[in-house]
Amino acid sequence: MQETTMKRLALGLGSLVLVLALLVGIPAALLFLAGNPFPSGDELSRALSTPDYGGEFLVGTLLPLIAWVAWATFALGFLVELPGHIRGIPSPHLPGLGLQQLWAAALIGAIVVMLTGVGALAGSTAGSPASAPASVSVSQSGTGATFGSTQAHGGTGAGSTDSAAVSIDTTVEAAPAAPIAAAPTYVVQPGDSLWRIAEQHLGSGERFAEIAGLNLGVAQGDGHSLTAENWLNAGWVLTLPADAAVPAAPEAATPAEHVVVEGDTLWDLAADAYGDGTRYPEIVAASAAVVQPDGATITDPNLIQPGETVNLPGVGAPTPDAVAGTAAASPVAEGVPVGATIEAASPTVTPAVAAPVDASAGVEANAAGAAAFSHTAPAHTTGGIGAVLAVGLLGLLALRRAGQRGRREFGRRIALPTAEASTLELELRAVENRMGLDDIDHALRYLAVWAEDTGRTLPSIEAIRLADDDITLYLSGTDPLPRPFRTEAVPANVLPANSTTAWTIDRAALPGVERVPQPPYPAFVTLGQDQAGAHILVDLERLGTLGVTGPLELRLGVLTAIAAELATSRRSEIRVTLVGAADDLATALASPRLRHVPDVATLLAHPAGDALAAETPEIVILALAQPLSDRQRAALAARSARLGIVQSGSTARAAAAPDRAPWTLNVDDIGAARLLPVGLSLAPQLLGAAECTRLIELFRSTAAHSVTGPEWARQMGAAGVGGAGSTGTAEAADVGASGAPWIRLLGPVEVIGARGVEPRGTAGGAELFRLPWATELVAFFTVHRTASAVDVQTALWPADLPTGLAAQQNRNALTNETRAWLGDSTDDEPYLPVVGADGLRLHPDVQSDWDVWRQLLGDDVTLTTTATLVSALRLVTGEPLSGLPTNHFVWAEPLREEITGAVLDAADELAARARISGDADSAALAASARGLVEPVPLVEPAALVEPVETR
């Protein structure tokens, strides 16, 4: 391996030097030696009329010009090839420059390989993203086929496969019906690229195009196929050119089983079994379908439990996902007969005969792998915004956009933020945990009702831990809590320091609340997530003072996040004063409960307010380096009987509670902090400078003027159902008339008319939640009719990397289950066909009610007949793209706003006509549609925003 690396480095450095010499050295030398080679008029006339006895014209003019032309052709070929390598796209062919482009491609490829360490970028035709190198498995298959008419640049044409017999010890017996020669195959491993495969088995990475040409569009066992982007999925079986150097395939050994014991890790198991811990993905793949004692399967390589069973494939044996020569995985084109029979002359080689694969084989082949589908919503954004803060920010953003819609003119749409701000919004929607916040509010209100009914005081809760399945309250005393809360001992190093008991309640077992009291405990705020991913909240009013230490940038990030969460919280009875930082954020949020002052003197100069204000909790967030003096603290305490202080820097022991150690959040890094004095490790919640800037832009966009709307609809992707300006007819609103499945987007999202089995698990657990994901996938494809695997990954799981084993398993399992759910059309084509050269796509017969809406109304509702307006508005059944759990449709906010604006315009148009004609039914329909698409936000508007103009 080291020798190969050094060879690659030497080749890359040599190529780099040669490129510099050719592109820079040659013109420099020509300028130095020959100067300006272009002759003057007199020199040209003399050269044509007088013999060049001394060779002056030849050496000084003609040869330099030839050299300049040669240099220019190479430079042009280099410039043409360079973007293809950088962007991973085919390079155009320039007539007469084939040799120059070939030389340039070789030099650029060597330099790229040296810089990346692996074949991350392919040659002149396309790029092949690559990850870490992994072990390979090559086998011999008896499959040969014709794959259409695709021709690859720089390689063997893929119009047919003229593969000769591979030089290994096998005998090929051609069946009389169809004599087809055996073709060598390769099983893709995690981290592979076409360049790397070609480099290892064809002798040159530049021959990757030959492999691409042989496999482009060929259905694989997971239902996908190679596309022009050249992404590879582990487990694919690729056909190689006939001259590929391949070893004989070993017989697949039965994997050994290992029962996990305390202290085991997959890395250690791989190191023990193979001598290489990096081969743990082979164990993951081999164990994906193993049902564990609790009925689940291993989906997280970082989490295995004692008692679970894992499979250890034999050293050198292919893993279950990388077995070559099986019928489900062999790349056979549909409809091509395979009649070759291969007999092994050596007992160690037994290639299998592949049979044609029908359209549903991918679903059946991946039935076991489908159980690997799993997804957990991220606990925070890239910058550190947690789930609770995300809920508050998105709730306030919804109110701002409701005001935007109220101010917009007829036929226009609200302005949406810039690309960077939109990316933050997408992250917030992927992170928000609205249900978790609802459950916390429910539990605390239940305690408030219980305390009122029993005459008790509210329990002294210092902290809350919000986990996926339960909520734990940490009390500073021994107050008992009612059932179904259960008491638990507080483990060591679990907050809070002065708690004597912890009370836990299952989120699924929260009891009903007979009445809704005022929200208790208004000063709870998130500090971060513990090592298990649970959110930790503390009551700033109860703590009195919280210090934040660490680097200045991180301290400000924590303080700003606390201010933003309190300012956007649903709890209205709180005042927040931010001293010395983030004044632009306070202005952008424009929350009446949040104010900014430059220093403590200005804060104390403000009047204290009336008695009612004095009873309202006030949280003062000090972003100043100078701590409060005793006199300033006393002055603040006199202003409010319910005061909490969060300050930058450590805090002194409170005079009112000298026996209590002060609470301090010590932030060491962006993902590491410790809450003292308990020593609890946290990933701190942060709102750093970069995310704060994007957040400000996000909220500023809500004050922008409206924009023209039809362009948005065109940018969402054509669905192929009607044209712009179509007036339609009342009868055209028959969605699903073709008999194909269709999906409702103009209300609670639902797929109607699917012909297969819903993607639900047969037992409890996470498998029961596959249906929302499958529904969202169908909705995504009705809007974006074609998409790559990366597009799907980015839309449905924006916080996850689009590459890697887990991402691949999720995409494949969800796509295959959705394909089986939708079923096949009358011409036996799946409604969600397997991936082709243009990526994943949806059958053209599958529509949405939004497609039909656009077909009916076109771009100008004023030109639409009243009957058609009525038909269109009857399609509206609720708030657009609603009805699915939180964290779904994070990609669809522009579409949601376009649908909302379109329905409001149509409703206004119908209402105006109804007023003129006196049609009460049409007026009622218009009012109903307007109310359905623009419901009252589920927060207390008066607590968060000033009154906004309503339409």
Residue 247 lies in a domain: no
pLDDT band, residue 682 (cuts 50/70/90):
very high
465 and 533 share one domain? yes
Q: Which residue has the tokens 């062999």?
A: 330
Residue 677 preceded by cis peptide, ω within 30: yes
The answer to whether the Cα torsion of 848, 852, 858, 863 is positive or negative is negative
Question: Predicted confidence band at 419 (pLDDT cuts at 50, 70, 90)?
Answer: confident
Do both 779 and 650 map to the same domain? no
Pair of tokens at residue 460: 């002294």
Across 867-879, b (16+ Cβ under 10 Å) vs e yields: ebbbbbbebbbeb
More confident residue, 259 or 159: 259
- Per the CB < 8 A criterion, the answer to whether 342 and 353 are in contact is yes
Q: Does 75 score more than 90 pLDDT?
A: no
DSSP code at position 833: P
Residue 914: predicted pLDDT: 94
Residue 364 lies in a domain: no
Provide the percentage of residues in the chain whose pLDDT is more than 70. Answer: 69
The domain spanning residue 288 has which CATH number?
3.10.350
Q: Is the pLDDT assigned to residue 653 strictly greater than 50?
A: no
Q: Are residues 620 and 682 in the same domain?
A: yes
Pair (663, 758) in one structural domain? no
Residues 6+ apart with CB under 8 A from 841: 781, 785, 786, 787, 833
* Nearest alpha carbon to residue 463 among 547, 535, 517: 535
Across the chain, mean pLDDT equals: 74
Of 640, 639, 636, 673, the closest CA to residue 547 belongs to 673
Straight-line distance from the first to the last Cα atom of the chain, in angstroms, rounded to the nearest whole number = 70
Instruction: Read off the pLDDT of residues 765-814 as tens digits, 9 standing for 90 and up.
Output: 444 457 888 999 999 999 988 888 888 888 888 877 776 667 777 888 88
Of 620, 521, 528, 612, which is closest to residue 569 (Cα–Cα)?
521
Q: Report the C-alpha gap between 724 and 731 in whole angstroms.
A: 18
Q: What is the DSSP letter of 631?
A: H
Domain match, 731 and 660 both = no
169-224 pLDDT per residue, tens: 333 333 344 444 567 888 887 657 787 788 888 888 778 888 888 888 787 766 67
Radius of gyration of the chain (CA): 34
Report yes or no: 520 and 460 within 8 Å, Cβ to Cβ: no
- Cα 494 → chain centroid: 33
State whether 539 and 444 are in the same domain: yes
- pLDDT for 72 beyond 80: yes
Domain co-membership, 306 together with 443: no
Report how far residue 34's alpha carbon sits from residue 71's, in angstroms, rounded to the nearest whole number: 15
- Where does a domain end: 286, 317, 348? 317
Confirm whether 658 is domain-assigned.
Answer: yes
If you count DSSP H runs as helices and E runs as strands, how many of each does the chain have, helices first?
A: 30, 28
Instruction: Please identify which residue in the block is written with the tokens 């084989």.
Output: 361
For the stretch 94-137, pLDDT in tens is 777 777 777 787 777 777 666 654 433 333 333 333 333 333 33
Q: What are phi and psi of 427, to 5 degrees?
A: -65, -40
Which tens digits make up the pLDDT trace of 346-355? 333 333 333 3
Per the CB < 8 A criterion, the answer to whether 292 and 309 are in contact is yes
Mean pLDDT of 651-655: 49
Q: Which residue has the higher pLDDT, 266 or 324?
A: 266
Indicate whether 687 and 755 sit together in one domain: no
My answer on whether 609 and 737 are in the same domain is no
Helix (H, G, I), strand (E, B) or coil at 786: strand
Q: What is the DSSP string of 535-587?
A: EEEEEHHHH-EEEEES-HHHHHHHHHHHHHHHHH-S--S-EEEEESS-HHHHH
Any domain includes 60: yes
Flag whether 814 is in a domain. Answer: no
pLDDT at residue 152, as a whole number: 36
Q: How far apart are CA 410 and CA 405, in angstroms?
A: 10
Least confident of 346-360, 556-570, 623-637, 903-917: 346-360
Least-confidence region, from 203-212, 455-464, 487-496? 487-496
Q: Does the global pTM surpass 0.75?
A: no
Side-chain half-sphere exposure of 224, counting CA atoms within 13 A: 29
Give me the pLDDT at residue 724, please.
34
Statement to judge: residues 657 and 714 lie in one domain: no
**Mean pLDDT throughout 928-948?**
59
Count of domains observed in the chain = 4
For 140, residues 6+ apart whose C-beta sits below 8 A from its C-beta are 166, 168, 170, 182, 184, 185, 246, 248, 249, 324, 325, 342, 349, 351
Cβ 476 vs Cβ 496: under 8 Å: yes
Q: How far apart are CA 105 and CA 92, in angstroms?
A: 12
Is 210:310 a contact under the CB 8 Å cutoff? no
Interatomic CA distance for residues 675 and 569, integer angstroms: 23
Q: Which of 656, 691, 726 is the last residue of a domain?
A: 691
Angle at 347 between CA 343 and CA 350, to 5 degrees: 45
Give me the CATH number covering residue 489.
3.40.50
Beta-bridged to residue 676, according to DSSP, are 664
Write b or e for each residue in 581-605: b if 16 or more Cβ atoms lie within 10 A of its Cβ, otherwise e. bbeebbebbbbebbbbbeebeebee
Decide if 141 contacts 186 (C-beta within 8 A).
Answer: no
Q: Does any domain span residue 719?
A: yes
For residue 386, the 8-state DSSP code is: B
Contact criterion met (CB below 8 Å) for 204 and 220: no
Q: Could you tell me if 628 and 721 lie in one domain?
A: no
What confidence tens digit (pLDDT) does each residue in 714-760 have?
444 333 333 333 334 444 456 666 789 999 999 999 999 998 888 76
* Within-domain flag for 150: no
Supply the range of the domain harboring residue 771.
709-785+844-933
Whether residue 717 sits in one domain with residue 674: no
In a domain, 483, yes or no: yes
- Angle of helix 387-407 versus helix 434-454 axis, rounded to 10: 100
DSSP string, 441-498: HHHHHHHHHHHHHHTPPPP-EEEEEE-SSEEEEEESS-----TT-EEEPPPTT-S-TT
In this predicted structure, the answer to whether residue 457 has a pLDDT above a threshold of 70 is yes
